[in-house]
Amino acid sequence: MFKTLKAALLAAACVPAMAAAQDLDTMSAAELYEQAKVEKTVTVFSLSSRIARVEKAFEEAYPGVDLVGVDLSSAKQIARVVAEQQAGVHAVDVLYIADAPVVLRDLLAPGRIQTYVPPRLADQLDAQFKSPLLVHRLSTKVLMYNEQAHPDGSPITNLWQLTLPEWSGRVMMVDPTQRGELLDLLTEIALHPDEMAAAYKAQFGSDIAVDSDLNGAGEQFIRNLFLNDLVLVANSDDLNKAVGTKDAKNPPVAFGTYSDRRDNEEEGWALQVANNVEPANGILFPAVLAVADKAPSPAAARLVIDFMFGDDSPDGGPAFAPFNVPGDYATRKTIADDPDSVPLEQLKAWTINTEAVAEHRARIADLIITLQ
Amino acid sequence: MSPSDTAAPFRRRRLTAARLVPLSMILIVGLLVLAPLLRILLATLTPPGLEAWTAILASPMSPNLWWRPLMNTLILGLGVSAGCLLLGGFTAWLVVMTDVPGRRILGVMHTLPFMIPSFAAALAWGTLFRNSRMGGSSGFFEANGFIVPDWLAWGIVPVLIVLIAHYYSLAFTIIAAALSSVGADLVEAAQMTGARRPRIFFGIVLPVVTPALVSAASLTLAGAVANFAAPALLGLPVRMQTLSTRLFGMIEIGQAERGFVLALLLIAVSGVFLFLSDRLVSGRRAFVTVTGKGGRTRRFPLGRWRWPLFAAGFGLAVVTTVVPVVVLVASSLAPQAGALFSNWTLHFWIGEGGGQIAQGTAGIFRNPVLIAALFNTLKLGVVVALISMLLGLALAHTITRNKGTVLANILSQLAFLPLLIPSIAFAAAYIALFGAPLGPLPSLYGTFTLLVIAAAAHNLPYAVQAGRSVLGQIATDLEESARLTGAGPLRRMWAIIFPLAIRGLLAGAILVFVKMVRDLSLVVLLFSATSPVLSMVAYRYAAEGFMQFANAITVLILVICLAASLIAQALQTRVQKWKE
């Protein structure tokens, strides 16, 4: 009884708040800053510890607004926001988060977060990066190989080669039942049955026969990959060492992160992306920026999101600098890709379809569990 | 169970008064432990939750989601706890009861492995034994021409060894605390009546320390089944999953309900073992050894076995302590993770930023938040250790003094659960419980207080078990005589129980402190202050791929833990002056 009353009161209180939020959505950064100065602090949950550098740059650009950055993995951000909002606590303003399929289901659908697109960026982002979620940049899970052991380029030119006996026990990935991005990778592969079937034909010359309990060539690939003694590891450190170590004899290949190549020199690795792979070498997946529901500092929250997309210069300026990493890709068109990396349009990776992946992810997870 | 039905009126009153304490204890523990558990249970009774039960227990996935992980978990739990009892018992006996040379240094060394995070031991194993299954980077043995088979490099065998090497020191700490209270008078009496050494051992020493053995077995079992790092690092390459890796994975990929179901099943399975071990203690005759008299410890002369046994104890310490520590220290000094012993630099500790190394990141001692983090970590560790020991002592006292009653049984089972509740679920429950104002309490969301409450509850098992193993030995006659002279319960606690139990309590406090200083997951979920704790700073470095900095901080944490345990030892000798 008391609860319904409270809910009704809250709903009533929300009406003007919503109107105000709409105003906020159309305000310029300068107008947001005026309100943000009154709000004083803004709390950001971030999947990346680079938030510390954003904090510094933000507070220099907007004195008087204190950015509180908290490093939290995506799974923990979701757990914490859900628990907090269920307890009626609204303490966080901005989420910088990956695991988009889970974000879609557990945060956006129940209204725990909302998508805010800064007005100045509306025509600088592709439609798929503005809705349902605002995408800040794209990271990769793509096939990586050892360029010292294979000076003539990638030993793999077709994903189906990974299921051949000669690659048995020599393909690695971080366990997809432990890390969402790898599950997203396999789900995205399953969502391209036609391309996978065509690639099969290109590799083996015959049409693929899909097991009766599976849907399409993508799922068949997942099964064959696991049956070919796919090696699972706990973290990407192990993976990079295994694939990239220089002077290694017969090193394996792995689905890893393209931007880890930047550590090659320092770590003594020879990691390189296998780009010329049929039908694709992996996925691009989004890092998302969103405003939390009933954010205590709604104006400052929007200001932070606006800020993190950087200025109009080709490298995005100091605000985007922490994220300008070779092998990661800005969604904002004015920001140029790193000259030493494969340009985004030439990278043969599928950009994940967040909604479709969200829908099929659990089924693929079940398939993988039976294969382990 | 209602003895009051048959009791005389005056007795009934006394019983009610005596029951007040256990009842209030149940209330506290219920709030702190049962509430999060109920929340998890409720989450699994929703439609997706019920689907998760079916998926895990009755679907084509069951073998891989439940049965095989269960089997691996049981092998690990039982194997680790047996191994820990053997090694921990042996080393505790060696250090406390014999005249082995270098006892002090051995005593310190054997407490160390628990302070080294288990992932360090797993890394050390990998550095030595990694084989070609892990591609280009071969381990020490394979690089030197030995062939390391898969079963020795990956899977259940290395996980068992690594976990025993990690947890035996937990058993050592608890058993050593109990052994030190086996009075010389008992042993001397037996010697005077002509008992041989084996008879003294099996007839006196062993029965007296049984509660400690059971505590140690339970804690190491729970630790082993809940451990994530070792099975993940060493098990996954051969697709070995345990319930804890499955549980973590399911929560991580957004299938929290399945994770919660696995957590409940894990709690149920461990509960069966803990219940059985509890039976073992309650069923046996009670031995009280800490009386008002004596208190000296009698040491057995080892004769010609002194040096061989010293070598065994020292060798064990070297393997379990020195090797992982050396690997950790080396990995905080080596610029390349692949070449641990070349090009050492102090850059990661004290280097100035801006150079070529580590993308210009400065050494940890130049990180401005480090000092604040250090202070926060110490504050958190000390406060949580104190509070959980107070709570643990009260609980342990209630349990031992009401031994055999239903109340005591419920309490002792409840007090054990927190070890097995995944911290992500624990934290979510605490945010739900204390996020909104609770009665007269204001909202504790994001405060240090909430973190302390949750952490104290989370670490309760260590405190209670440590307290129980010592309290079980303290004779009631001391308390009775104090009661007769009119001393109140608090006074009795302070003047009698506390000094007598100090060793066990400090042992427990150190365990809690160590756990807390190393713990990350609970802290990041519950605490939103800008000034972090050390484990969060280490996580930041690790997340950026700067493992050397993260390892440097782990070494720093290790040093703090070591200092804390030395301080505790000094404190204990000051309180128990009569032992000198």
State how far residue B184 is from chain A, nearest Cα, in angstroms: 51
Does A28 contact chain B (CB < 8 Å)?
Answer: no
Q: How far apart are CA B203 and CA A62, in angstroms?
A: 75
* Region at A32 (left for phi over 0; alpha for psi -120 to 50; beta for the rest): alpha
> What percent of chain B has pLDDT above 90?
17
The candidate with the shortest Cα–Cα distance to A136, out of A302, A260, A339, A320, is A320
Burial class (CB in 10 A: 0-12, 13-18, 19+), B303: exposed
pLDDT of residue A2: 47
Of A202-211, B130-139, B169-178, least confident by mean pLDDT is B130-139
What does the pLDDT average to over B561-574?
A: 80
Beta bridge mates, A94: A44, A291
pLDDT for B421 beyond 90: no
Q: What is the pLDDT of residue B328?
A: 81
Q: Is A10 an interface residue toward B (CB < 8 Å)?
A: no
* Contact assessment for residue B530 and residue A44, using Cβ atoms and an 8 Å cutoff: no
Q: Is B122 exposed, middle or buried (0-12, 13-18, 19+ CB in 10 A)?
A: buried
Q: How confident is the model at residue B5 (pLDDT cuts 50, 70, 90)?
A: very low
pLDDT at A154: 94
CB pair distance less than 8 Å for A266 and B339: no
Give the helix, strand, coil percentages of chain A, each rounded to 5: 50, 20, 35
The residue among A133 and B336 whose pLDDT is bigger is A133
Winning range, highest mean pLDDT, from A4-8, A76-80, B515-519: A76-80
- Flag whether residue A83 sits within 8 Å of chain B, measured between CB atoms: yes
User: Is the ipTM beyond the 0.95 threshold?
Assistant: no
Q: Which position has the higher pLDDT, B525 or B311?
A: B311
Confidence at residue B364, expressed as pLDDT on a 0 to 100 scale: 77
In a domain, B360, yes or no: no
CB contacts < 8 Å between A and B, how many? 170
Rounded to a whole number of angstroms, the distance from the CA of B477 to the nearest CA of chain A is: 49
Q: Does B61 touch chain A (CB under 8 A)?
A: yes
List pLDDT tens digits, range B29-54: 888 888 888 888 888 999 999 999 99
CATH architecture of A139-284+358-371: 3-Layer(aba) Sandwich (3.40)
DSSP A57: H
| A contacts of B541 (beta carbons < 8 Å) | 49
Judged by a CB distance cut-off of 8 A, whether residue B233 touches chain A is yes
| A238 in contact with B, Cβ within 8 Å | yes
CB A154 within 8 A of CB A275: yes
Find out whether B321 and B112 touch, Cβ atoms under 8 Å. Answer: yes
Tell me the H-state helices in B30-112. Answer: 35-43, 47-57, 62, 68-97, 103-111
CB-side neighbour CA atoms (13 Å) of A307: 30
The nearest alpha carbon in chain B to A71 belongs to B540
Answer whether B62 touches A (CB < 8 Å): no
One-character DSSP codes across A281-295: SEEEEEEEEEEETT-
Distance from C-alpha of B228 to C-alpha of A370, rounded to nearest angstrom: 21
Q: Which amino acid, one-letter code, is at A16?
A: P
Domain over A16-138+285-338 is classified CATH 3.40.50.970 = no
B536/A233 Cβ within 8 A: no
Q: CA B161, CA B542: separation in Å to the nearest integer? A: 26
Among B236, B251, B543, whose Cβ lies nearest the Cβ of A175?
B236
- Radius of gyration (C-alpha) of chain B in whole angstroms: 25
Q: Which of residues 541-570 of B touch A (CB under 8 A)?
A: 541, 543-545, 547
Reported as half-sphere exposure (CB side, CA atoms, 13 A), residue B433 has a value of: 22
Distance to chain A for B28, nearest Cα, Å: 21
Inspect the interface and report whether the beta carbons of B540 and A52 lie closer than 8 Å. yes
- Count, in order, helices (H) and strands (E) of chain A: 13, 12
How many Å lie between the alpha carbon of A122 and the closest alpha carbon of chain B? 31
Judge if A16-138+285-338 and A139-284+358-371 fold alike in CATH terms. yes
Q: Closest CB to B524: pick one of A76, A149, A242.
A: A76
| pLDDT given for residue B80 in this prediction | 96
pLDDT digits (tens, 9 = 90+) for B483-497: 888 877 778 777 777
pLDDT of B577 above 70: no
* Window 389-428 of B, Cβ < 8 Å to A: 424, 427-428
- Measured distance CA(B500)–CA(B269) in Å, rounded: 35
Residue A324 has pLDDT above 50, yes or no: yes
Average pLDDT of span A324-334: 89
What's the CA gap between B519 and B532, in Å, rounded? 12
Residue A50 is given by DSSP the state T
**At residue A250, what are phi and psi to the nearest 5 degrees?**
55, 50
Q: Are B134 and B237 in contact (CB under 8 A)?
A: yes
| Average pLDDT along chain A | 90
Degrees, nearest 5: CA angle B484-B489-B491: 90
pLDDT band at B7 (very low <50, low <70, confident <90, very high): very low
CB contact under 8 Å between A260 and B545, yes or no, is yes
According to the model, what pLDDT value does residue A367 have?
96
Q: Which of A10, A47, A49, A141 to mutate to test the interface with B (most CBs of B within 10 A)?
A: A49
Could you give the CA distance from residue A80 to residue A74 in angstroms, rounded to a whole number?
10
Tell me what the mean pLDDT of segment B325-337 comes to.
Answer: 79
Tally of domains within chain B = 1
Mean pLDDT of chain B: 81
Tell me the domain boundaries of chain A. Answer: 16-138+285-338, 139-284+358-371
Q: Which of B134, B248, B253 sits opposite A242 (nearest CB)?
A: B134
Q: Rounded to 10 degrees, what is the CA torsion of A122, A125, A129, A132? A: 20
Show residues of chain B in contact with A232, CB under 8 Å.
Answer: 236-237, 239
What CATH number is given to the structural domain containing B196?
1.10.3720.10
In this predicted structure, the answer to whether residue B415 has a pLDDT above a threshold of 90 is no
Interface test with B, best of A50, A178, A263 (most B CBs within 10 A): A178
d(CA B7, CA B10): 8
The amino acid at A119: P
Give the integer Cα–Cα distance in Å for B259 and A75. Answer: 12
The reply to whether residue A238 touches residue B233, judged by beta carbons under 8 angstroms, is yes
Q: What is the mean pLDDT of residues B216-226?
A: 88
- Higher-pLDDT residue of A326 and A361 is A361
Residue A216, pLDDT > 60, answer yes
pLDDT of residue B337: 62
* CA-to-CA dists, residue A96 to A86, A136, A308, B298, B318, angstroms: 20, 9, 10, 62, 45
- The Cα A222–Cα A192 span in angstroms is 12
Q: How far is CA A59 from CA A52, A68, B9, B61, in A?
A: 11, 10, 72, 51
Distance CA B50, CA B118 (A): 34
Range of weakest confidence among A352-356, B7-11, B77-81, B526-530: B7-11
Does residue B2 fall inside a structural domain?
A: no
For B410, the domain range is 18-37+49-352+366-579
Residues B115-135 have a mean pLDDT of 82
Distance to chain A for B273, nearest Cα, Å:
28
Q: Give the model confidence (pLDDT) of B439-481 as tens digits.
A: 777 777 777 888 888 888 888 888 888 777 777 667 677 778 8
Chain B partners of A245 at a C-beta cutoff of 8 Å?
Answer: 135-137, 338
Cα separations in angstroms, B429 against A47, A79, A101: 22, 10, 24
Please identify among residues 311-350 of chain A the ones whose CB lies closer than 8 Å to any CB of chain B. Answer: none
Whether residue A354 has pLDDT greater than 90: yes
Q: Concatenated DSSP letters for A144-198?
A: EEETTT-TTS-S-SBGGGGGSGGGTT-EEEE-TTT-HHHHHHHHHHHT-HHHHHH
Confidence band for A150, pLDDT divided at 50, 70 and 90: very high
Q: What is the pLDDT of residues B375-395, one digit of tens each?
A: 888 998 999 999 988 888 888
Is the Cβ–Cβ distance between B153 and B133 less than 8 Å? Answer: yes
- Closest by CA to A281, choosing from A179, A232, A349, A339, is A349
On whether residue B357 sits in a domain, the answer given is: no
Bridge partner list, A69: A44
Question: Which chain A residues contact residue B428 at CB under 8 A?
Answer: 79-80, 82-83
Is B136 in Cβ contact with A249 (below 8 Å)?
yes
Question: In which band, very low, low, confident or very high, does the pLDDT at B18 lie, cut at 50, 70 and 90?
Answer: low
Specify the pLDDT at position A219.
97
Q: Does A72 touch chain B (CB under 8 A)?
A: yes
pLDDT tens digits, one per residue of A260-278: 898 888 778 999 999 999 9
Residues 6+ apart with CB under 8 A from B558: B112, B115, B116, B325, B328
Which residues, in sequence order, are bridge partners of residue A113? A292
Distance from CA of B335 to the nearest CA of A (A): 7
Six-digit token string for A296: 């205590």
Spatial CA neighbour of A84 closest among B188, B446, B170, B246 = B446
Which range, A211-225, B272-286, B472-486, is most confident?
Answer: A211-225
Mean pLDDT of the region A43-67: 90
d(CA B187, CA B410): 35
Q: B75 and B225 in contact (C-beta within 8 Å)?
A: no
pLDDT tens digit sequence for B470-486: 776 676 777 788 888 88
Q: Which residue has the tokens 């001397």?
A: B188
A169 touches chain B (CB under 8 A): yes
